[in-house]
Amino acid sequence: MLLIRCPYCETERPEVEFVYAGEAHVARPVDPAALTDDEWKNFLFIRSNARGTHFERWRHMHGCGRFFNAVRDTVSDQFAMTYKAGMPRPTENEIKEARS
């Protein structure tokens, strides 16, 4: 069981309190009607499926209830960092710093 740092509670909590919620930074288009079928398909179904650094969403479902973002390595399963929903995608340097 992983330990996950909730950026809202600012503590590490056991994985059982959390649920995974898919890839992060996939914003719902403001005006879906303006998208072509192809663009809409990409939004709906196409994900990066990264090997290595992955930006993903989690929810502290059985804690504070908040959705947040995380940087996790899909090979080692290790979290590099977590950050609040709405914050920009961290840069490579920020991730490197968080890992060290």
Partner 1 sequence: MLQERHPLKGHRISLAEGVSLVIHDAEDSSRFNLRIAPENLGAASKAFGCELLATIGATATSGGRLALCLGPDEWQLYAPLAESRSIETTFAALYASCPHSLVDVGHREIGIAVEGAAAVLALRSACAFDFDTMPSGTGTRTIFDKAQIILIRHDENRFRIEVWRSFADHVWGLLQAASREIALGI
Partner 2 sequence: MSTYRVSGKGRVDHNRPVRFTFNGENFEGRQGDTLASALLANGVHLIGRSFKYHRPRGFLSAGSEEPNALVGVNRGVGRAEPNTRATVLEIFDGLNTVSQNHWPSLKRDVGAINDPLYMLFSAGFYYKTFMWPKSFWNKVYEPIIRGAAGLGKSPAVPDPDTYASRYAHCDVLVVGSGPAGLVAALEAGKSGAKVILVDESPEFGGSLLGEPDAEINHLSAWDWLLETNAALAAMKNVTLLNRTTAIGYYHQNFVGLCQRLTDHLSELPDGAPRERLWKVRAKQVVLAQGSIEKPLVFDGNDRPGVMLAGSARVYLNRYGVKVGNLPVVVTSHDSAWLAAFDMAQAGAKVAAIVDIRARVPNYFVKRARALGIETLCGWTISGTKGRHRVTSVRVNPVSAGGHVGPARTIACDALLMSGGWTPSVHLFSHTKGKLDWNDERQMFLPGARTEDSRCAGAGNGKFGLEESLMEGASAGAAAAIDAGFSASAGSYSVEGEVLCIGASNRELPSDGSASWAKAFVDFQNDVTAKDIRLAVREGFKSIEHIKRYTTTGMATDQGKTSNMNGLSIASDAVKRPSPSVGLTTFRPPYTPTTFGAFAGYNRGDLFEVTRKTAIDSWAEEKGAVYEPVSLWRRAWYFSKQGEDMHQAVARECRATRQSLGMFDASTLGKIEIVGPDAAEFMNRMYTNAWTKLAPGRLRYGLLLGEDGFIRDDGVIGRLSTDRFHVTTTTGGAARVLAMMEDYLQTEWPDLKVWLTSTTEQWAVIALNGPNARKLIEPLVEGIDLANEAFPHMSVAEGRICGVPTRLFRVSFTGELGFEVNVPARYGRAVWEALYDAGRKYGITPYGTETMHVLRAEKGYIIVGQDTDGTVTPEDASLAWAIGKTKPDFVGKRSLTRPDMLMADRKQLVGLLTSDPKTVLEEGAQIVLDPNQKVPMKMVGHVTSSYWSETLGRSIALAIVEGGRAKEGQTVHVPMPDKTHSAEIVGMVFVDPENKRLNV
Site string for partner 2, 22-61 (x = CB under 8 A): -----xx--xxx-x-x--xx--x------------x-x-x
**Binding window for partner 1 (CB under 8 A); candidates: 9-17, 22-30, 49-57, 74-82:** 9-17
State the sign of the Cα–Cα–Cα–Cα dihedral 52, 53, 59, 60: positive
How far is Cα 64 from Cα 41, in angstroms, rounded to an integer? 33
The set of residues, in sequence order, having a beta carbon less than 8 Å from that of 1 and lying 6+ positions away, is 14, 15, 16
* Residue 77 backbone class (left: φ over 0; alpha: ψ -120 to 50; beta: rest): left
2 binds partner 2 (CB under 8 A): yes
- In a 13 Å sphere around the CA of 80, the CA atoms on its Cβ side amount to 22
Q: Binders of partner 2 among 55-94, rule CB under 8 A?
A: 57, 59, 61, 65-67, 76-78, 85-86
Q: Which two tokens stand for residue 42?
A: 């990409």
Q: Which of residues 8 and 40 has its CB atom nearest to partner 1 in the complex?
A: 8
Write out the residues near partner 2 by the rule CB under 8 A.
1-3, 14, 19, 21, 27-28, 31-33, 35, 37, 40-41, 44, 57, 59, 61, 65-67, 76-78, 85-86
